[in-house]
Amino acid sequence: MLDLLYLSFVGIDDKNYKGVNNKILGQLDALESLSYSTKLLTFNKNGLIIYEKESQKLIKPYRIKRMLKNYRRIGFVKEIVSEIVSQNPRILYIRYNLSEPFFISILKSVRSKINGIIVVEIPSYPYELELNPIKRKIDSIFSKNLNKYVDYLALTTKKYDSIFGVNAIYIGNGISMNKSFEVNNKKTNKLILSGVALISNWHGYDRIIRGLRSYYDSNNSVEIEVRIIGLGPEYHNLIRLVERMNLTNHVKFLGICEGDKLLDEYAKMNMGIGALGIYRKGLDEAVTLKIREYCAFGLPFIYAGNDPDITGKFEYALQFPNDNSDIDINKIVEFYDKISSSTPDYKEKIKEFAYENLSWESKMKDFLLKLDSYRDKIIEDKER
């Protein structure tokens, strides 16, 4: 019997969701290292596939060229259910997209056909402010049905014991430590702060740009350069803000960087820029992947709001208020000077923290231990 089947509605080859797919594959790699057999049921450009150890088996092709969101068509729902039943996993693990009629129909059909545990991972909660009014209304109606078919929710926040009447287990976010995070850092005479993201307003990069303007207006001596890596809906707004504040010599926009080009950027960084505007999503706590990647590279970073794996537990991160105030650049300069002078081996200490606390292997192991404590009872209850 298959230990875990992962169902994702995000196209495995969709470049707009590369970070999401890296996370999913990282979770699966971690499970394999823990001796769990796994498969991924998802989509690629051709249709519905089973993905297993980098091999892809086409289950059902698209009849015509369609957007990936059209998994909701009834034909695909039937094929999804059929494949899940065929695999008969001990754990069906689903990345949550939205509660709507066809998603609920998948859950309803599967629930009556398999004895395994059904877990739905909600990557961000609450998420209402991320939805348009129509989707928000649809989700509010159909999410009420989740407790009929789902055993557990996997959450990236510790704030909730249950949501939608379903018990919640904290999983957090992790990083894959099976790839190289070694770079030869390049010495410069300036302090380089870099943010890597699919740039949205909740990243709050405008806060650091405004802070940088105030910093230079005060004639501070340490040269600061902000490098923004990636594209996204907020990209052009930030460019206009930088131009309006006459900061083009101090803020660089790199666009999308991958492979060696991205590694080269990590080698230039002194500190990473985490999310600075999660309050714009109605959140005071978030577990973002990017700051975990900064840790894997041995980089200190700044962020706003709370992170249950970082806040109060990690001395190489500088936390700012989760609001719209300008970022105080002087505090960043003082913070970096302090750790680089008092702890010369801080990079190794940061990497050690990442391996012990932020790897997907440690995250999935903790999650499975929590799940294992309930599995026998749940299966027994279903068989009565």
pLDDT tens column, 211-237: 999 999 997 889 999 999 999 999 999
Mean pLDDT within 258-281: 94
Residue 71: what pLDDT?
A: 45
Residue 334's CB is within 10 A of a number of other CB atoms, namely: 12
307: its two tokens: 């992170």
* CA 172/CA 285 separation, integer angstroms: 11
Q: Which residue has the tokens 């959140």?
A: 283
Residue 382: what pLDDT?
A: 53
Residue 371: what pLDDT?
A: 87
Q: Which residues pair with 58 in a beta bridge?
A: 49
Among 175, 203, 177, 22, which Cα is nearest to 95's? 22
Residue 378: what pLDDT?
A: 52
| Three-state secondary-structure class, residue 210 | helix
Cβ(329)–Cβ(220) under 8 Å? yes
CATH architecture of 191-357: 3-Layer(aba) Sandwich (3.40)
Q: What angle do CA 104, 107, 109 make, to 5 degrees?
A: 105
Predicted confidence (pLDDT) per residue in 123-156, tens digit: 988 888 888 999 999 999 999 999 999 999 999 9
| Three-state secondary-structure class, residue 363 | helix
**Which range among 59-63, 249-253, 370-374 has the greatest average pLDDT?**
249-253
75: its two tokens: 């034909």
Chain mean pLDDT for the chain: 90
Mean pLDDT within 257-261: 90
Mean pLDDT within 224-251: 97
Residue 178: what pLDDT?
A: 63
pLDDT at 35 over 80: yes
Contacts of 82 (CB under 8 A, 6+ apart): none
User: Cα 214 from chain centroid?
Assistant: 32
Element of type H or E holding 121: strand 117-122
pLDDT at 38 over 90: yes
Q: What angle do CA 14, 195, 177 make, to 5 degrees?
A: 65
pLDDT at 18 over 90: no
User: Cα 351 from chain centroid?
Assistant: 19
Contacts of 98 (CB under 8 A, 6+ apart): 131, 135, 138, 139
CATH architecture of 4-175+360-383: 3-Layer(aba) Sandwich (3.40)
Q: Which residue has the tokens 């056909």?
A: 113
Q: What dihedral angle (degrees, nearest 10) is formed by the CA atoms of 4, 28, 361, 351?
A: -170
Residue 18's CB is within 10 A of a number of other CB atoms, namely: 14
Among 308, 363, 242, 227, which Cα is nearest to 319's? 308
Where along the chain do its domains lie?
Answer: 4-175+360-383, 191-357
Predicted confidence (pLDDT) per residue in 321-372, tens digit: 999 999 999 999 999 999 999 999 999 999 999 989 999 999 999 999 988 8
Cα dihedral sign, 297-303-305-311: positive
pLDDT at 376 over 80: no
